[in-house]
Amino acid sequence: MTRLTVNGRVRVFRGHPFTRLVDVLREGFGLTGTKEGCGEGECGACTVLVDGQPVMSCLVPVCQVEGRRVETIESLGGLERLDPLQKALLEEGGAQCGICTPGMVMTAHAWVRRGGSSRPAAIREALAGNLCRCTGYQHIVDAVARVVRERDRRRGDAKRPSRATSRTARRTGRHR
């Protein structure tokens, strides 16, 4: 029996302790928002947050998250409402076929929440564990940079973001 917190709720899994976390979430708890793309920790589609850190749930036996806090895509936004990151991805064109999207959103969400920067090169590094075959990443990087800038503006941190903004604009050729 494994006890863990999933999206703020304490859940109990009664199956084998070596069952992969991705299977526990999808089949055990019916949280099919988390996807499986490769089963070996390469594509990142199954990314969830464990105690706030992005983790590939296809590589984690459920016993390893005993007593820990797991967040999945289902924890973001609401039925009628998108989280700012989801909204930015929608508007920038950061989701196409959508299969990598939940994992990508969770990785990016952790980046934004733990104070990651809006520099495209840094964002690319943060997202390097999540493969996307549709977008070429540019629109995803743009969306994450935008949300980080919005976050910094809310915090009144004016110095760093303004410089990062202009660099983003130059590198992505957006001001045209």
Partner 1 sequence: MKKKRSGVLRPEGPDKLRGLARYVDDLPFPGGLHGATLRSTVPRGRIRAIRFDPDFPWDECVTATAADIPGQNCVALIEEDQPLLADGEVRHAMEPIVLVAHAERHRVYEALGHIHVEYEPLEPVLSMEDALEAKVPVRAPDNVIKRISIDKGDVDGALAGADVVVEGEYRVPHQEQAYIENQGMTARFEEDGTLLVEGSLQCPYYVQKALVRAFALPKEKVRVVQATTGGGFGGKEEYPSMVAGHAALLARKAGRPVKIVYDRTEDMVATTKRHPARVRHRTGLTREGKLVAQDIDVLMDGGAYATLSPVVLSRGALHATGPYECPNVRVRACMVATNTPPNGAFRGFGAPQTLFAAELHWERIAGALKKDALRLRRLNLVREGSETATGQVLHESVGARDVLEAVVRRGRYSEKKREYARWNRSRRHPSWRGIGVSVCHHGAGFTGSGEAFLASRVALALTRKGEIRVLTSSTEIGQGTIAAFTGLAARTLGVPEEWVTIERADTGLVPDSGPTVASRTCMIVGGLVERAAQRLRERILESTGRMPSTRAEMVREARRLCGREPALRVEEQYTHPPEIRWDEETYRGDAYPVYGYGATVVDLEVDRTTFEVRVRRLTTAVDVGRALSPRLVEGQVMGGVTQALGYALLENADYHDGVMQNPQLTNYLIPTALDTPPLDVMIVQRPYSRGPLGAKGVGELPMDIPAPAVAAAVHDATGLLLTELPILPERILEAFSSDPAHRQR
For residue 122, what is the enclosing H or E element? helix 120-126
The answer to whether the beta carbons of residues 58 and 20 sit under 8 Å apart is yes
DSSP 61: B
Burial zone of 48 (CB within 10 Å; 0-12 exposed, 13-18 middle, 19+ buried) = buried
| Residues from 151 through 170 that contact partner 1 (CB under 8 A) | none
Q: Near partner 1 by CB under 8 A, which window of 7-15, 60-68, 138-146, 154-162? A: 138-146
The answer to whether the beta carbons of residues 140 and 104 sit under 8 Å apart is yes
| Residues from 61 through 120 that contact partner 1 (CB under 8 A) | 72-74, 76-77, 82, 86, 89-91, 93, 95-102, 105, 120
Does 56 bind partner 1 (CB under 8 A)? Our answer is no
Q: Cβ 37 to partner 1, closest distance in Å? A: 4
Does 42 bind partner 1 (CB under 8 A)? Our answer is yes
Does 137 bind partner 1 (CB under 8 A)? Our answer is yes
A 10 A CB-CB count for 98 gives 10
Report the residue number, 3 or 104, with the smaller CB distance to partner 1.
104
Report the residue number, 14 or 67, with the smaller CB distance to partner 1.
14
Burial zone of 50 (CB within 10 Å; 0-12 exposed, 13-18 middle, 19+ buried) = middle
**Contacts with partner 1, residue ranges (CB under 8 A):** 26, 31-40, 42-43, 45, 72-74, 76-77, 82, 86, 89-91, 93, 95-102, 105, 120, 123-125, 127-141, 171-176
